[in-house]
Each structure stands twice: as C-alpha cells, then as structure tokens.
Structure 1
C-alpha cells in the first residue's frame, strides 16, 4: 500500500495515449510551462492523497482499458509510488504511458527512483510544453519539441526510439 498526491483521474480517456485509458493527474509540478493544459496541478500543496491500491482497483474494474497514463502535474516528482503502481498495472496486461516536462536524457541522469519509474514505462511523452511550438496536428502531444518515445526499445538500444503513432 502506497499513497500518492493527485489532482484527479479520468476513467476513459482517448487523448492521453492509444486506446481507452485511465489517466492519473499527479499533483505538483516544478515546470510551470506557459499555456499548460493543467495549471491547477502545479501547486504541490493542492490535490488530495489517494491510496495506489484503491486506484488500481478502479483501473481493474474497467475491462475496456488498454492502459494507464500518468500525467500531471509532474509524475517524476512522485516516482516511487508510480513505479510500484506501474509494475502492478503491467501484471494485469495493461500498458503504461507517462507525460513529463523533463526530457528522457534528464531522467536517465535523475535520481535512482526516477530511473526506476522510467524503466517501468512503455511510452514516454517527454519535454516541456512550449506554447510557441504548439501544434494541434500532433498525436498525443501539444508542442513540436515533445517526443513520443518507446521507452523499452530506447533503454535496450541506448538510442532514442520514437513510438510509432
């Protein structure tokens, strides 16, 4: 049993990754990107604490889900409970996507806990949202500097492998 501070969840998202997804919006973000889609998630004192086992139970109650997406806020500010949750999600055959304002290069040089969370992900949408690079034609990202990365192939090959959307 672990707890996590979240702003909220969405039970059946189709915009936060491929297929029907359960999206967890973590609370707290250091990036403060101009034009952020979720500014209410920035305050580290906001949101509420939730038990990850309760979240997992809600996820497993929906047989239509393809996976779960960690969004924010900044998920990598709470890497320990999210890595544990990602492991449990994978045990039930679902995939895990994550949005972050960090680049994968920064995360690979981050704390051991951040690297551990990274290792549990299938897809990472990395980089800060940059309003001046906004492009609504892009799949699953808001600005052209952001990348949709196949994390497992990237970690195996030590070279960035973009996810084929």
Structure 2
C-alpha cells in the first residue's frame, strides 16, 4: 500500500535524480510527523511491485522509500527492494525504527541487505537537524553499502513542484522562515510530500 503514487522525479530526496515512494501505514506516532496522512494502515493506493517499478523513469539514479513506515509492510518492502536492486537502482530508506530495531523485525535483516542508505530513528520535532537528509538530529544515516559516502548526503534542499491542476507541493527540508511564511500566508497546507496548495 502506497500513500501516493510514485513521485517520478526528485532532486532533494538523496543523491542524483531519484524517484520517491511514500508507503502507507505507520503506528509509531512521532509528534510533528511530516506525513500524518500516511499513518492509517489499510488505506492508500494498492500497487504491485511490477506496477511500482514500471512507474519509475529509466533515467533516475535511485529510489527513496519513505512513509508512513516502510518496515510495517515487510513482505511488500522485501519484494520491492529486491526488484529495485535487480534493476540497478540505488536505494535509500527512511524509517522511524532504529537499525537495531529493524534487525529484530520480520524480514528486517533481509531487507537491509538490499538497501544502500538507511536513515533511522523516531522523528523528534524538538531536535531539528541542521544539515543532510535527517528530519531530526537524533536520526542516524547508515551507509549500508559503499555506493555513497557521507558527503553525498549533506545537502538540505527544498523542491517545489507545480502541477497542471494547480497543485503545488513542497518537498525536502524548507527552512523555518519559509515554513512560517507558508503557514502564515495560508495558501498552502500539509500533504504527503510536505505542503500542498489549497
């Protein structure tokens, strides 16, 4: 189950041009979570691994998986990361679980063997990260393969996407001044990818 369809292109969810997959369902309940609409299990968009992979453009370097909580769908996640690896994509996964917790989850160790980068730990709204792909400073970036180095994950960028239907999404890590401006203006609201135009 996905929260939204595959986001085909992103430059702010890891190195290079990437596709992003937001999985549906999370019971961790982190205060201030970026994607609260992705928490309800059993809702969302049902897609097969094959359908997901067909939605990923050939020119992207890798795929970033976020949530919801990807590891709460272990069977689907394992099938997906295995297939992505077969197709040569790099794989980054955001999880609210720690690496140690994942190792104890069903299929956790098997899933991690196909991941290049794991960004782990509960989001803490009071510990905002200053750099890199972490949402909060308590989270840890684990390089599980040698595909990337720590310096490849230092960028902290914001991406605005303008769709033909008038929707604007903000992804990545908008600076606090931009977040305040957006909220004060009242023209944007939170969505699965951050903020959307109302």
| Shorter-chain TM band | 0.7 to 0.9
Matches within 5 A, 1:9-158: 9-59=6-56, 62-111=57-106, 113-135=107-129, 137-152=130-145
Query: Offset of 1:115 from its aligned partner?
Result: 1.8
SS across alignment from 1:34: coil
Larger Rg: 2
Contact 1:28 1:72 in 2 (8 A): yes
Q: Deviations over 1:18-41 (max 9, x none)?
A: 111111111000111111111100
- The structure where helix makes up a greater share of residues is 1
User: Normalized against structure 1, the TM-score is what?
Assistant: 0.84
Query: Offset of 1:63 from its aligned partner?
Result: 2.8
User: Normalized against structure 2, the TM-score is what?
Assistant: 0.71
Contact 1:25 1:71 in 2 (8 A): yes
- The alignment covers a number of residue pairs equal to 149
RMSD: 1.5
SS across alignment from 2:102: helix
| Structure 1 unaligned spans of 5+ | 154-161
